[in-house]
Amino acid sequence: MKTSKEVLLESIKEDLLVYLKSGKLSPLPFLNELNLNINKVEDSLKIHFLLMDEVKDYILNLPMMIRELKVSTNLTKEISYNKIRGSIDWKETIRQRLNTNYKDKTLFSYNERNKLYNTKENVVLKKFIEVLYDIVIGLNMDRFTGYDWYVEGEKINKIVKEIYEKNVYMSRINIEGINVTDRMIEDVAKNRSKLYSDAAKLLRKYRQIINFIDYEEIKKLFEKTFIEIADENTLFELYWVVRILRDNACNEKMYIVDGTNNKIASWEDGNLLYNIYHNSTGSDNLIFKIGFEEVENIENEYFRRMMAVVKKTHEIADKLFEDKGTLGNIFWSGRPDIIIEIIDKNTGRIVKVILGEVKYTTDREYMIQGLKELLEYVYYIKEKSIKGMYVFDNPQSGIEVEGILFVDNIDFKPLHNEIVKVYGTDTKEILL
């Protein structure tokens, strides 16, 4: 039986939260394999916040609660000719007429009642709805409405947009230039109306999460929503990256993956520099491709037919997707789940490459398939500095190559003196 997502996350969540708090490693590059396109750690936390049950409940009840919005009033004395917008103050009217023109029967003094929308309660309310609006619009939450984890997302997005953009009373609350202080939030949190008190409490919670103040809440929030968002394979890859860092790295430098560079972390050990990459071909020094020109002159019937299969695959793929050259002139290409490049700091040259293949499985056949893929990486990897130079089992290359297969709970015998290692989730320590 596979290790559950809950168990996987439980074993690495403390490490993840340490990385998150320091602004280092985030789960985002792993989540982005699901095409979520979340770009910042803060964005991830905002989505976590929006997925909180109490936040979703507040939004869904907002169309009814907004009717409780209250305004304050004040009376001002106004002087006008003919137009009267309140109760007439006859004493003041007579005085004004005597001071100007006592025969003027069109002059009146009256008490005008003005509605004030910028109360402390309304300012806090508007600020919270603005936070929700910024999340929904700024993170384009509409793109997530088809995901199971964003339950009632379409309705939530619509309510937030309509309240912020179209509600006439909300539009009259002007918070531009107003600093909503913690004291204001605490005061409004005591209000008897849930419209105001819940808005204040949730705004306070939002600030605590974004600023990493309520660490325990972030742990619960992160665990719940990451379980909902991440699929099993994604979490399993993240699990092994964290295990590698935990068991081998010291004073590591983390990198935010931006789509152009998949380097996750680097650390030093004596004269060696370690760089770890996820779902990548590593640095520009390595090649994981074999072109047709390298193999087309091999005279072997089996191999000739193998090439024919690959070429026909490319040909049909081009027709299917009307994209000529989709696969190019490539006989074989690969991209390991994990690459660790070990570099001599004095020379700047790679001295060892560790290639990792992750298989979230307890099935032997699938494990052996992963082993085959891993061995392809090991045998086919090339060194870019010398055209066509294969690295493994090549005396001319100064790079040592090793493979690691990461699997789930499978009973297997330990390997000795092999070019690959196999680690399962019950392995105590990951040794590079």
Concatenated DSSP letters of 291-346:
EHHHHTT---HHHHHHHHHHHHHHHHHHHHHT-TTSSTTEEEE---SEEEEEEETT
User: Does one domain contain both 417 and 360?
Assistant: yes
User: Does one domain contain both 302 and 346?
Assistant: no
Which of 58, 82, 116 is the last residue in one of the domains? 116
Residue 224: per-residue pLDDT:
66
User: Does one domain contain both 237 and 130?
Assistant: no
Structure tokens at 241: 């990256």
- Which amino acid would we find at residue 276? I
Model confidence band, residue 432 (pLDDT cutoffs 50, 70, 90): confident
Structure tokens at 257: 């993956």
Question: How far is it, in rounded angstroms, from Cα 353 to Cα 346?
Answer: 17
Q: Which residue has the higher pLDDT, 159 or 149?
A: 159
Helix (H) or strand (E) holding 11: helix 5-21
Boundaries of domain holding 307: 289-333
Nearest to 124 by CA among 158, 173, 166, 159: 173
Provide mean pLDDT across the span 101-107. 76
Instruction: State the virtual CA torsion across 268, 270, 271, 274 in degrees, nearest 10.
Output: -30
Is the Cβ–Cβ distance between 218 and 226 less than 8 Å? no
- The tens digit of pLDDT for each residue in 270-329 reads 999 999 998 888 888 899 999 888 888 888 999 889 989 998 988 888 888 876 665 678
DSSP state for residue 192 in the 8-state scheme: S
Q: Above 90 in pLDDT, residue 346? A: yes
Residue 62: per-residue pLDDT:
97
Which of 229, 245, 278 is the last residue in one of the domains? 229
Q: Which residue has the higher pLDDT, 270 or 218?
A: 270
User: Poorest-confidence range of 154-168, 243-257, 274-288?
Assistant: 243-257
User: Does one domain contain both 166 and 297?
Assistant: no
Provide mean pLDDT across the span 160-188. 94
Model confidence band, residue 158 (pLDDT cutoffs 50, 70, 90): very high
Structure tokens at 105: 């029967």
- Say how many CA atoms lie within 13 Å of 7 toward its Cβ: 8
Query: 229 CB contacts (<8 Å, ≥6 apart)?
Result: 31, 34, 36, 47, 147, 149
Q: Above 60 in pLDDT, residue 81? A: yes
Among 24-38, 86-100, 247-261, 369-383, top mean pLDDT goes to 369-383
Nearest to 28 by CA among 340, 284, 254: 254
User: Does one domain contain both 106 and 184?
Assistant: no
User: Does one domain contain both 189 and 106?
Assistant: no
Identify the three-state secondary structure at position 57: helix
User: Does one domain contain both 181 and 225?
Assistant: yes
Cβ count within 10 A of residue 429: 9
User: Does one domain contain both 173 and 185?
Assistant: yes
**pTM: predicted TM-score of the whole model, two decimal places:** 0.66
Do the domain assignments include residue 5? no
Question: Which is it for the CA torsion 246, 250, 253, 259, positive or negative?
Answer: negative
Do the domain assignments include residue 152? yes
User: Poorest-confidence range of 19-23, 50-54, 61-65, 123-127?
Assistant: 19-23
Do the domain assignments include residue 17? no
User: Does one domain contain both 306 and 374?
Assistant: no
Task: Tell me how many domains the chain contains.
Answer: 4
Beta bridge partners of 286: 383
User: Does one domain contain both 274 and 150?
Assistant: no
Identify the three-state secondary structure at position 223: helix
Separation in Å, CA 172 to CA 58, 113, 129, 137, 189: 22, 17, 14, 21, 22
Is the Cβ–Cβ distance between 348 and 397 less than 8 Å? no
Helix (H) or strand (E) holding 237: helix 232-248
Do the domain assignments include residue 139? yes
User: Does one domain contain both 283 and 261?
Assistant: yes
Please give the share of the chain, as a percent, with pLDDT higher than 90: 47
Question: How far is it, in rounded angstroms, from Cα 290 to Cα 294?
Answer: 7
Residue 229: per-residue pLDDT:
63
Provide mean pLDDT across the span 87-113. 76
Do the domain assignments include residue 414? yes
User: Does one domain contain both 85 and 154?
Assistant: no
Among 21-35, 169-183, 365-379, top mean pLDDT goes to 365-379
Do the domain assignments include residue 198? yes
As a 3-state breakdown, the chain gives helix, strand, coil percent values, each rounded to 5, of: 45, 20, 35
Is the Cβ–Cβ distance between 131 and 202 less than 8 Å? no
Q: Above 90 in pLDDT, residue 381? A: yes
Which of 205, 229, 253 is the last residue in one of the domains? 229
Residue 320: per-residue pLDDT:
86
Do the domain assignments include residue 429? no
Do the domain assignments include residue 1? no
